[in-house]
Chain A
Amino acid sequence: MFLVKCPWCGWRDQTEFSYGGEAHIARPLEPGQISDAEWGDYIYTRRNTKGVHAERWSHTQGCGRWFNALRHTVTDVMWDSYKMGEDAPTPPKDWDGMTCCDDHKKLAEGAKK
């Protein structure tokens, strides 16, 4: 159980959301022109990343809208979410998967003070 950031409603409990699998998988424009292997890859093959994973979520128990998010699949901490069609944000290279983008910012500001 972890928190998911809905771009419209903010941080909410994961149980309010439905998971939609890996993000940014584009349907081939000409399915008739590609091989069975390419079509199979499109449908079934997944990155299944251990680390920072771009994925789709829907706020089913809230506003119902779909969005994308970056989550660390070892710690289950979500870095940030972004609207469909937007580019994925880039977490800092030293991100250890322990803090979300907001907390990370606060911690960085605290360290400066």
Chain B
Amino acid sequence: MKKYSIFAIARNARTHHENWERAWRSPDPKPHYDVVIVGGGGHGLATAYYLAKECGITNVAVIEKGWLGGGNTGRNTTIVRSNYLMDESAALYDHAVQLWEDLSDELNYNVMFSQRGLLHLAHNVHDMQEIGRRGNSIYMNGIDSEFLSPGQVKDMVPIINLNCRYPVMGGLLQRRGGTARHDAVAWGYARAADAMGVDIIQNCEVTGFKIEGGVVKGVETTRGSIGAGKVGVVAAGHSSVVAEMAGFRMPLESFPLQAFVSEPMKPIVDCVIMSNAIHAYISQSDKGELVIGGSGDPFISYSQRGSFDQIEHVVGPVLELYPIFSRVRMLRQWGGITDVTVDRSPIMTKTPVENMFFNCGWGTGGFKATPGSGHVFAHSIAKGEMHPIAAPFSMDRFHTGALIDEAAAAAVAH
């Protein structure tokens, strides 16, 4: 892998940028790998990267049924934050934020991580109590968190209409939160993992598993069978489908969640603003588009579209809060399939099948955790025991009752 740098740009300018090497190879699958990762999104690629870099396991394949980052990695609203209520979540998501902070250097790939600040709005007494409780608990977990008065919210976001139908009564700000470039995260991890010998195999769908005596021995794919010492499944919305192939079920339901972007505009919003009470969140990409998201569809589906009426439920509140956007035109709309758990916390777990690990249930907010998720999952696969940060997120919690209930803090806003 040739290093990306200003000198590389100058060198390649002399040959009219026609000789850049490919960011990663496109190999045929080998007959056997030490670890096979099912799912080439951000989390899967990050897992492969940290397996190679930190665990010394380079005989790894990432198998992707479509193209890299074509699922939820390329369909989210790119928000990164770690202001979660529960201790277990704080440890996990802040581990991710700390990795995000050095990620561009680490991968030699600009993931455009921008800590522009992330503001949660409160619109009623209950919201104020909720951010009070959550803000203090976040603070006690050593994560930055500030309360803002309506005046301070207005200073930060001059275009906001504080006296809208549900007036803004305050806000909770995490200055280390922000956004990143979602495609770059997948590509950066893919390129860096490939350079260490990881095989990235696209257009290769898993159709089944080879399981002997309760131990996984390999995966069956549309490009033939591939032997595997261990298998890590990071299949997001399709985790239930993959689990069914392995002969067990997961405590998951898959819901479509949609987002949309506007036409590009000059800079007008320089932070991420979200509101749990009115189900809308907004930020502005570096290209100038407003990136807008809201709540998911209320029924399970794999349609990757999202319902038309949900658009109105999101656009209405956005215009109440920011009347200046009333004539902005929307450019694109899309949906992703989110695998949601009942406590709105992810599942990183061993499974009833030996040597098979699942990393799923990230629901509507997995993007922010990409580096942290990959990091602890890689260590868990390498050791065969769950990493201490990942251990509380085992699927056993749905039997023991030790749920990590982020439903209040994470169910809506991402």
Q: How far is the CB of B248 from chain A (nearest CB, A)?
A: 9
- CB of B307 within 8 Å of the partner chain: yes
Q: How far is the CB of B312 from chain A (nearest CB, A)?
A: 10
Q: Which size class do B's interface residues fall under? A: 20 to 34
Contacting residues of chain A (31-77) with chain B, CB-CB under 8 angstroms = 36-37, 39-41, 43-50, 53, 55, 71, 73-76
Contacting residues of chain A (62-108) with chain B, CB-CB under 8 angstroms = 71, 73-76
Interface stretch, picked from B88-96, B144-152, B249-257, B325-333, is: B249-257
Complex-state Cα separation, A100 to B240, whole angstroms: 26
Let me know if B398 and A53 touch, CB within 8 A.
Answer: no
Contacting residues of chain B (218-251) with chain A, CB-CB under 8 angstroms = 238, 240-241, 249-251
Interface stretch, picked from B21-29, B50-58, B206-214, B294-302, is: B294-302
Give the residues in chain B near A1, CB-CB below 8 Å.
Answer: 307-309
Complex-state Cα separation, A103 to B401, whole angstroms: 46
Produce 1/0 per residue, B369-400, CB < 8 A to A: 00000000000000000000000000000111
Give the residues in chain A near B309, CB-CB below 8 Å.
Answer: 1, 15
Contacting residues of chain B (55-110) with chain A, CB-CB under 8 angstroms = none
Give the residues in chain B near A39, CB-CB below 8 Å.
Answer: 399
Q: Determine which residue in B303, B308, B401 has the highest number of CB atoms from chain A within 10 A of its CB, and name it.
A: B303
Let me know if B303 and A76 touch, CB within 8 A.
Answer: yes
Let me know if B307 and A73 touch, CB within 8 A.
Answer: no
Let me know if B252 and A48 touch, CB within 8 A.
Answer: yes
Q: Known: A50-B302, A73-B300, A73-B302. Contact between A44 and B307, CB under 8 A?
A: no
Q: Known: A15-B309, A36-B400. Contact between A44 and B300, CB under 8 A?
A: no
Q: Contact partner of A47 among B240, B302, B399, CB < 8 A?
A: B240
Q: Determine which residue in B298, B302, B341, B400 has the highest number of CB atoms from chain A within 10 A of its CB, and name it.
A: B302
Q: Contact partner of B249 among A15, A45, A50, A75, CB < 8 A?
A: A45
Q: Which residue of chain B lies nearest to A75 when distances are taken between CB atoms in the complex?
A: B303
Complex-state Cα separation, A71 to B303, whole angstroms: 12
Give the residues in chain B near A43, CB-CB below 8 Å.
Answer: 342, 398
Let me know if A55 and B299 touch, CB within 8 A.
Answer: yes
Q: How far is the CB of B65 from chain A (nearest CB, A)?
A: 13
Q: How far is the CB of B377 from chain A (nearest CB, A)?
A: 21
Complex-state Cα separation, A47 to B401, whole angstroms: 20
Q: How far is the CB of B375 from chain A (nearest CB, A)?
A: 27
Let me know if A48 and B240 touch, CB within 8 A.
Answer: yes
Q: How far is the CB of A20 from chain B (nearest CB, A)?
A: 9
Produce 1/0 per residue, B302-331, CB < 8 A to A: 110101110000000000000000000000
22 A-B residue pairs with CB within 8 Å: A14-B299, A14-B307, A18-B298, A21-B253, A36-B401, A40-B251, A41-B249, A44-B398, A45-B249, A45-B251, A46-B249, A46-B252, A47-B240, A47-B249, A48-B249, A48-B250, A50-B238, A50-B241, A50-B302, A53-B300, A73-B301, A73-B303
Partner-B contacts on A (CB < 8 A): 1, 14-15, 18-19, 21, 36-37, 39-41, 43-50, 53, 55, 71, 73-76
15 further A-B contacts with Cβ under 8 Å, apart from A19-B299, A48-B253, A74-B303, are: A14-B307, A15-B309, A19-B298, A36-B399, A37-B399, A40-B398, A43-B342, A45-B250, A45-B398, A46-B251, A50-B240, A50-B302, A73-B302, A76-B301, A76-B305
